[in-house]
Each structure stands twice: as structure tokens, then as C-alpha cells.
Amino acid sequence: MKNISDDYPVYWTRETQIQNAAQEIYKADVVTLMQHFNQTGDVHTLQRMYGCEIHDNGTVRGYEQLGYDGEDFISLDMEHVAWTAANPQAVISENKLNSEGTAHFQKYYLENICTEWLKKYVSYGRETLERKVHPEVSAFHKHSSPELVCHATGFYPKEVNITWQKDGEVTIEDVELRETLPNQDGSFQKRSILKVSAEELQKHTYTCVVQHSSLDKEIVKIILRDGGSGVLRIGVIAAVLVIAVFVGFLIWKKKSDFKQVPQNMNRK
């Protein structure tokens, strides 16, 4: 069986040649665009962005657009198979590209060749791209602070949803959702902060809800007024119940044994 890495030298050599040739074309294009914009000097940039997507239902989407000096210049209209200018200076380029029929070639490339390469890349990295790791979630109240903190970490993939509930109803006021950050092991972490006054914290029950593709059901954490999380409260209650049942059993046993002594003596 042929190893994927066997194709790497050929692949990188071919791609390097293609990009070197494209670089020369882009240089010439910049000179042309400078003329369209009546520019004679300074530094100018030409940017090109294109790609393709394959959705879960099997549909594909392609896109391509170019920018000049940080502004939109021209883009490919996939539906009408034509180039569309973003400003008057781009109309000359629009007419030239449409007369050459390049839109049809690009549409075919994006919907067929590009998607085939995308499937290859996904298959090569499937183990990494499709792995799922569930988040570890902690929720707590910062002492002497109006901030309730919900922190999820160690999850993969990157997309995660963190929401707050007040007495079981979703609340979005005074919520600060921090940026998703990477961990050293390739997983991610994210934090959401809800600001609540001390009076409101005493009156209502606040919970943090975390949803992630790795989970069969959402993770729900209750914020305790003493700064802990709902899991700790359940554990304490369970321990108290066990102790109460055990003590009750001892009392019953002692009373039972006390009643049996006279009965045995009477039989003698």
C-alpha cells in the first residue's frame, strides 16, 4: 500500500512552481490596477481569497473574491456564473474576465476539483479533525465580587455554547463571554462571566449551561451562595442523608433489642 508521505516531494515541488508562476502574474496585475486607479507609486496590495465547502447534507459551496489595497475589488457570482465589480475601477477587469469565460472555469474548479482535494485532506486528517473531547466545567462565585464565573476547558472541537439561567430562564443581561483560547494539548477553553448583585444572588438561583458536540446532554452547574458549585451541594446533602439513615437505624435497633429482653425472660 502506498504511503501518503510518498507523494509529498512531488506535491510540494508542483505547488511551489504554481505559486512562483502566480506571483509573477500578480505583480503584473498590480501594475495594471495602479493604472486603473491613476496611481504612480507607493506600496499596493492585491489579495485573492477562494475556497470550497462541503456541508453535512452533501451540498457544496464555492467562493472567490479579490481585494485591492484592503478594499473589495471583484468577486465571482456562483449563481449567475459571472464576475461582479465592487467599484468603478473594477469594471474593466469585470468585462475582460467575463468575455474570456473564466467564470465558468472557476465555478467548475471550485465545485469539483477543489471539493475532491478537500475530501482528501479530510481523510488524511480524519483522526484529528473528527476527534471529540468533552469539556470539564467549573462554576463559582468570586468572594466579595459581583461576578459569577463559568469555565469550560479541555474540549475539542473548538465550538462550544455557554449560557446562563436565572431561576431556570435564560438570561443575557450583564453577561461577558470571553474569547475561546487554545490549551497546550490542542484542546480549548472558554469562560463566561455574569455580574449579579449580592441581593439578587440571595433571591434567585443561577445556573451555567454548557453545550458541546462531544456531550450526549448539556452540562448544568448550579452556583451556590457560598461560592461553590451545584455538584458540591448534592454531595453534602447525600452525605447528610446517609448519616441520618444510619443513626436512625441504630436507634431503632436499640429500641428493638430493649423490647426483646423481657419477653425472653418471661419464657423462662
In a domain, 260, yes or no: no
In a domain, 201, yes or no: yes
Q: Are 49 and 66 within one domain?
A: yes
Last residue of a domain, one of 72, 103, 129: 129
In a domain, 100, yes or no: yes
Q: pTM for the full model?
A: 0.55
In a domain, 203, yes or no: yes
Residue 105, domain CATH: 3.30.500.10
Q: What is the pLDDT of residues 24-81, one digit of tens each?
A: 999 999 999 999 999 988 999 999 999 999 998 889 999 999 999 999 999 999 999 9
Burial of 155-190, coded b for 16+ CB within 10 Å and e otherwise, reads bbeeebebbbbbeeeeeeeeeebeeeeeeeeebbbb
Last residue of a domain, one of 64, 98, 129: 129
Indicate if the pLDDT at residue 86 is higher than 60.
yes
Q: Which domain holds residue 143?
A: 136-232
Beta bridge partners of 133: 156
Domains in the chain: how many in total? 2
- Name every residue whose Cβ is closer than 8 Å to that of residue 105 and which is 6 or more positions away in sequence: none
pLDDT band of 190, cuts 50, 70, 90: very high
Q: Are 155 and 220 within one domain?
A: yes
H/E stretch holding 68 reads: strand 60-68
- Name every residue whose Cβ is closer than 8 Å to that of residue 76 and which is 6 or more positions away in sequence: 50, 62, 63, 64, 65, 82, 83, 84, 103, 106, 107
Contact 177, 166 (CB under 8 A): no
In a domain, 158, yes or no: yes
Distance CA 116, CA 42 (A): 41
Among 178, 62, 173, 182, smallest CA distance to 114 is for 62
In a domain, 250, yes or no: no
Q: Are 115 and 171 within one domain?
A: no
Q: Are 125 and 148 within one domain?
A: no
Last residue of a domain, one of 66, 97, 129: 129
Q: What is the pLDDT of residues 13-26, one digit of tens each?
A: 999 999 999 999 99
